[in-house]
Amino acid sequence: MTRFLSRATRIAVTALLLAFAIVQPAAAQEVLRDSETELLFHDISAPLVQAAGLDPHNVKVVLLKDDSINAFVAGGQIVYIHSGLLTAADNVNQLQGVIAHELGHVAGGHILRMDEGAGAATKISILSLVLAAAAIAAGAPPDAGMGILYAGQRAALGDFMAFTRAQESSADLAGASYLSKAGVSGRGSLEFFKKLQNQEYRLAIYSEDSYDRTHPLSQERIQALEEIYHKDPSWAKPIDPALEARFERVKAKLQGYIDPQLAIRKYPESDQTVPGHYARAYAYHLGAYPDKAVSEADSLLKTAPEDPFFLELKGQILLESGKPKEAIPVLRESVKNAPDQPMIAVMLGHALIASEDDKNFAEAKQVLKAAVNRDNDNPFAWLQLGMIYDHEGDTPRAALATAERNNLEGNPKLALTSARMAMMGIPANTPDYLRAQDIYLVSENALKKDKKRGVKVEPREPGKPK
Ligand SMILES: [Zn+2]
């Protein structure tokens, strides 16, 4: 789990939290990146994306660091899942149910239409608007959508709710059809909706007089889904145990990362399962008990010595507790076993540089260059690469790396300055020069837009220049 943000600007290679990478600097919500989590999201959503008639290459499921139980669609084809939703889901089938529903919004083009119809409220297409109310009740700061609830614009709200309710129903139906086509049971979808409904009752929002009108997660909605799901041949289909095991791992490590203290309570020492060890490894690591964290990682490796994510975890703990030289062989092994996971490669690059051994720099450069070619949405990788260019005295390419990093972090001003510096030192019309020019132009545009419209607040689409 990797934290980037302002930390990324520090050259110090001390306790960076790797594997869950936070790469959302401009907006209120931060994106968490983790190889194992992204792989699971991809594998459980791919059949649903296909069933929706969408291109799996274009659709992304992205994890946001946010405790509230929510999911929404933004930026066209990106499904955002809150960390709070993932830790609240009881099984992988529930998560698939949520993703199927959100894909219903994507395929229905709901976001575009909402942009036209509902002004400031467009940025939340949520599982249930009641969740927004629940979040407000829990003291969350209002975002664009919640602002409407606060404003007391009842008339506008009524229109918006009717509009939203129609979209919710259509997303429900679409989601149900994707689950059916993909041969996935709708049981989880229903379970999760009911779980949300119970939460609403606990918060007593149901007694609001406007409830019937403003409540998209109605009993009717659940009944409609029940009828569809029960008839489906996949209804009784059990959950794939392999997927479920992966889900339990991802949930446990996220829990350990997000809230170490809670993780220790949920996964006490008596829990000797893989998720138990996983959650505690992160919790101890974040709580600065490196020895206990390593021992949990070793327990995991005893069950599966080749597992690239267990190796990544151990390497991360060693690296971040100041033992880069011990981390290097462990991370090399991890990269070897998961060659298509660039974020692990970046961690290896980080360890190689942190070893402060000149002999390791060539390998670091090679590893990091390959990583940014595969996944150019990792500001930390560019930070590391920039350090290598600096070390080599290649100032223009160090500037280009800085431009790339600032572009990804949403700092067009700094990206522009660095891109200009890079262009002055790199021979014209070479690939690196053209890349610097691209960033220059994109940044220039972004600055113009910022001036016109004020600062953008919607989450940036990962992998695309701002
Ligand atoms: Zn929805």
pLDDT in tens, 374-399: 988 889 999 999 999 999 999 999 99
**Top-confidence residue, 394 or 109:** 394
Measured in Å, residue 29 CA sits from the centre of ligand 1 at 19
pLDDT confidence of residue 189: 93
Domain range for 170 is: 1-182+187-231
pLDDT confidence of residue 109: 81
Measured in Å, residue 122 CA sits from the centre of ligand 1 at 12
Measured in Å, residue 174 CA sits from the centre of ligand 1 at 11
Asked if 208 and 81 sit in the same domain, the reply is: yes
pLDDT digits (tens, 9 = 90+) for 3-55: 333 333 222 222 233 344 444 333 456 889 999 999 999 999 999 999 999 99
Q: What is the DSSP string of 235-303?
A: TTPPPPHHHHHHHHHHHHHHHHHH-HHHHHHHS-TT--SHHHHHHHHHHHHHTT-HHHHHHHHHHHHHH
Please check whether residue 371 lies inside any domain of the structure: no
Measured in Å, residue 326 CA sits from the centre of ligand 1 at 47
Measured in Å, residue 127 CA sits from the centre of ligand 1 at 4
Q: What is the DSSP pairing of strand 78-82 with strand 21-22?
A: unpaired
Measured in Å, residue 233 CA sits from the centre of ligand 1 at 24
Measured in Å, residue 465 CA sits from the centre of ligand 1 at 28
Show which of 169, 202, 231 is a domain's final residue. Answer: 231
Asked if 276 and 211 sit in the same domain, the reply is: no
Measured in Å, residue 167 CA sits from the centre of ligand 1 at 7
pLDDT at residue 154 above 80? no
- DSSP secondary structure code for residue 142 in this structure: P
Residues 53-56: contacts with CB under 8 Å, at least 24 apart:
53/107, 54/103, 54/106, 54/107
Tell me the backbone φ, ψ of residue 52, rounded to 5 degrees. -80, -5
Asked if 221 and 258 sit in the same domain, the reply is: no
Q: Which of 58, 16, 56, 63 is nearest to 38 (CA)?
A: 63
Measured in Å, residue 109 CA sits from the centre of ligand 1 at 12
pLDDT at residue 213 above 50? no
**Top-confidence residue, 323 or 456:** 323
Measured in Å, residue 217 CA sits from the centre of ligand 1 at 9
Asked if 104 and 223 sit in the same domain, the reply is: yes
**Top-confidence residue, 79 or 159:** 79
Asked if 298 and 312 sit in the same domain, the reply is: no
pLDDT digits (tens, 9 = 90+) for 63-77: 998 888 888 887 678
Measured in Å, residue 72 CA sits from the centre of ligand 1 at 7
Measured in Å, residue 350 CA sits from the centre of ligand 1 at 40
Please check whether residue 401 lies inside any domain of the structure: yes
Please check whether residue 240 lies inside any domain of the structure: no
Q: pLDDT > 70: what percent of the chain?
A: 75
Measured in Å, residue 220 CA sits from the centre of ligand 1 at 15
Please check whether residue 236 lies inside any domain of the structure: no
Asked if 153 and 224 sit in the same domain, the reply is: yes
pLDDT at residue 135 above 90? no
Asked if 145 and 27 sit in the same domain, the reply is: yes
* CA 262/CA 392 separation, integer angstroms: 45
Inter-residue contact 215 to 221 (CB < 8 Å): no
Show which of 318, 337, 365 is a domain's final residue. Answer: 365
Please check whether residue 370 lies inside any domain of the structure: no
pLDDT digits (tens, 9 = 90+) for 225-256: 999 999 999 999 999 999 999 999 999 999 99
Measured in Å, residue 193 CA sits from the centre of ligand 1 at 11
Quote the Cα angle for 417-21-51, to 5°.
110
Measured in Å, residue 455 CA sits from the centre of ligand 1 at 27
Q: Crossing angle of helices 154-181/144-151, nearest 10°?
A: 140
Q: How many domains does the chain have?
A: 4
Q: Which residues surround ligand 1, an ion (CB under 5 A)?
A: 168, 171
Measured in Å, residue 14 CA sits from the centre of ligand 1 at 42
Please check whether residue 243 lies inside any domain of the structure: no
The domain spanning residue 361 has which CATH number?
A: 1.25.40.10
Asked if 348 and 422 sit in the same domain, the reply is: no
Measured in Å, residue 334 CA sits from the centre of ligand 1 at 38
What is the pLDDT of the chain when averaged over all its residues?
81
Asked if 142 and 206 sit in the same domain, the reply is: yes
Q: Which of 113, 131, 101 is nearest to 215 (CA)?
A: 131
Q: Give Rg (Cα) of the chain.
A: 23
pLDDT digits (tens, 9 = 90+) for 298-332: 999 999 999 999 999 999 999 999 999 999 999 99
Please check whether residue 92 lies inside any domain of the structure: yes
Asked if 299 and 358 sit in the same domain, the reply is: no
Show which of 303, 324, 343 is a domain's final residue. Answer: 303
Measured in Å, residue 128 CA sits from the centre of ligand 1 at 6
Asked if 17 and 145 sit in the same domain, the reply is: yes
Please check whether residue 197 lies inside any domain of the structure: yes
Measured in Å, residue 183 CA sits from the centre of ligand 1 at 21
Measured in Å, residue 319 CA sits from the centre of ligand 1 at 41
pLDDT at residue 134 above 50? no
Asked if 454 and 343 sit in the same domain, the reply is: no
- For 157, the enclosing helix (H) or strand (E) is helix 154-181
Measured in Å, residue 348 CA sits from the centre of ligand 1 at 40
Tokens linked to 218: 């109605």
Measured in Å, residue 454 CA sits from the centre of ligand 1 at 28
Measured in Å, residue 178 CA sits from the centre of ligand 1 at 15
Compute CA 412 distance to the chain's CA centroid, rounded to the nearest angstrom: 23
Measured in Å, residue 101 CA sits from the centre of ligand 1 at 6
Measured in Å, residue 429 CA sits from the centre of ligand 1 at 47
